Structure 1
Amino acid sequence: MTILEDQPINPPTTLDLDEINLADPDFWLRPDYHDALAKLRAARPVSWHEHHDSGKGFWAFLDYEDIIAVTRDWEAFSSKHGIRVHHDAGTGQVRPGTNIMIEMDPPEQTANRKHVSTGFTPRQVRKMETYVREQAIRIVSEFERGDEIEFVGDIAARLPMEIICDIMGVDPADRPHLLDLSNRTLGDQDPDYGVDPLEGTKATLELREYGVQLAAERLENPGDDLFSEIARIEVDGKPLPKEQLGGYFALLIAAGNETTRTAITHGMIAFSRFPDQKALFQSDPVGLEQSAAEEIIRWASPLRHMGRVLTHDIEYRGVRMRTGEKAAVWYSASNRDPAVFDDPFRFDITRDPNLHQSFGGGGPHFCLGANLARREVWVLFQELFARFPDAVAVADPVPLRSVQVNGVKSLKVRL
């Protein structure tokens, strides 16, 4: 059976409530995980989940409004002790923090974000429209109608990686290796990307070290790229430590390519499963560009969750939570919350409003690259369908085994 056949969009779950464990990466490979999330959200919108290997766990928030409350209350739910709730496979160890803005709280986070965000403002991204389109055209023009391609590697991963590397001033010769490191950083729970339990940590450290070296080069010989600007950032009159610069590089490379390629890949899957929506987009690709991009990103929910740490004891929805315990907000659940989204399992590129939480649930940590990601998504599909109007997935996607990201390793597409 392929995705072109009549498969249920949201098959009913066979799991009981006590069998649903969001800490288990194999849970996310189940075809019924969305229904399991809906079942859990309705019965236990706040629930405790433990890692099988360590016995440690976290509180899970699945309700849309609860996620807004948690992400805005950074004083109780802190980012500065780390945002990963899962441990490196089999080790029971949490990766060391990076001391970058995604792992900071205000006011420190606010000061750092202000400097880094200059390259991702709506105005700056609008200036990149022609460049993004040129890159999309270049990539899709390498193929011919009727070709069967590996969509993830041939198209979806290439556009965002090329763009973020160009923005950062990365040598083209280094980009394939950085893409591999990014894959291993975010795919560290999948056996295809990890040869030992610490593979993800090793890849993260190597990405950071590359960033440290690049920052040193940019301080010596600055260019007109974003990382030259980041290397010269001063907070309270002091330059950023080299380790922090390395952390920023790793964050921007990994987040700048993985989440967008995941959205693009799931968009291709959705257009294949909902041909009426594909035809609608093709009928007005400019008029529907923004609403289509938002729905693709809601549907994909590229980042499954974001973690926090409790700074003091609190009670929420009658649940007592203790200082130092981890918590996670689950966008995979909130983006299909029927209290917010009508017919949430319908892929609808005209959906309005579409206040999905794929870029965060509000608060200080809203995704820095949201404007760029939206543009990359809609431009890619405009150019793909302009050249290949019959493009369609011809085999089931191969999902990434991951608690953290809703990744796809392989998707066969006929152009």
Structure 2
Amino acid sequence: MSECIIARQPIFDINLKIYGYELLFRRISMDNSSAFDPDEATSSVLVNGMFLIGLQELTRGKPAFVNFSRKMLINDVMTFLPNKDIAIEVLETVEPDETCLLACKRLKEAGYKIVLDDFVYHTKFDPFIAIADIIKVDFLLSSPTECRALPKRFQERKDLIFLAEKVESYDQYAQAMKWGYSLFQGYFFCKPVVLNTRDIQGNRLVYFQLLKELNDPLVGFDQLERIIQRDVSLSYKILKYVNSAAMGIRTKINSVRQALTMLGKQNMEKFVTLVLLKGLSADKPNELLITAIIRGRFAELIAARLRLRGQTSTAFLIGMLSLADALLDRTMEKFLSELPLSDDIVAALLRKPSVLTSILEMVIAYEQGNWEVYETYCRKLNITSGEVNNMYMDAVIWELNIEH
């Protein structure tokens, strides 16, 4: 018996807008007696993604990049899915024999994008390249010389797009652009660009000051209301979030006082922090805030499952603030020194051992498809993969409801 868990990894265009998401999956065997079957895992992703979760919700209406083995390609299993929703990643292990080439040509003629995954050039792959739409190059496995050479080799193919994957820093992202790559995948966008002389300026300073007051344990309810009401835009955003589908409140909320009363102090802190981080992230890729929100909700749901009474809101803040260094382009230590956060939050964000730290580590491992680390934390927290998978999907959909 087995189950399949699904995560997603964003793919950016040259302007750091979302182009699509690669669906990462892992089959979890209940008895550990059978080998990993990529065909079964891909089928599970498609069935779960399309029918149980909804591909539109999972990928925000952007194309889903899905790995395909030889067997999946030649069986034409894709024809029941709209071609605009799927980009077919041909695994690097697939040989370009006549049967596979014919299958890929049929799929391309049907309107599906053909993507060559983890590509390393060899002349035998020329027939695949001739019909490919996108070539993915792994920046960790390939040398800088190889990464630079591929776009140059095929520069006459104006229709061929090069995707740099495993990009782990903004320097790599900038270098890849210079070499001719126009799509990018990796967690470079979650890293801060720390400049020693940089300070927080303009509206970002106002938001940061509000965030400091919000996290002061001595701040009172009336004081927080006055803070919010100083900024018309902030008041509007709070009302919008409270009235969103994610809150499930049937009565229309029309005043800040009413919103704060309805939320209660813990939820109020959570949602105000969410709004303020959105203000602080104005010059960052939107996906960075999306990731922070999903981390927060994901961590909150796990804490609730573990029955950590009184700490679910803390878990939410830890998940959200785990990307504060990237949002503010300063080290986490610097960020934490400037806010009066609780010891539990500080310890988790500095990765000091605690149950909240374990939740954060599991959230990040799941998000990035680091399955071995993720499974270690599942065992440590005594929680099943199926439960965590459902909570991750709930967090993804919850974030989407907040946006709308």
Is TM (by shorter chain) over 0.5? Answer: no
Higher helix share: 2
Does 1 or 2 have the higher relative contact order (CA < 8 Å, sep 6+)? 1
Q: Give the TM-score taking structure 2 as reference length.
A: 0.33
Q: Give the TM-score taking structure 1 as reference length.
A: 0.32
Larger Rg: 2
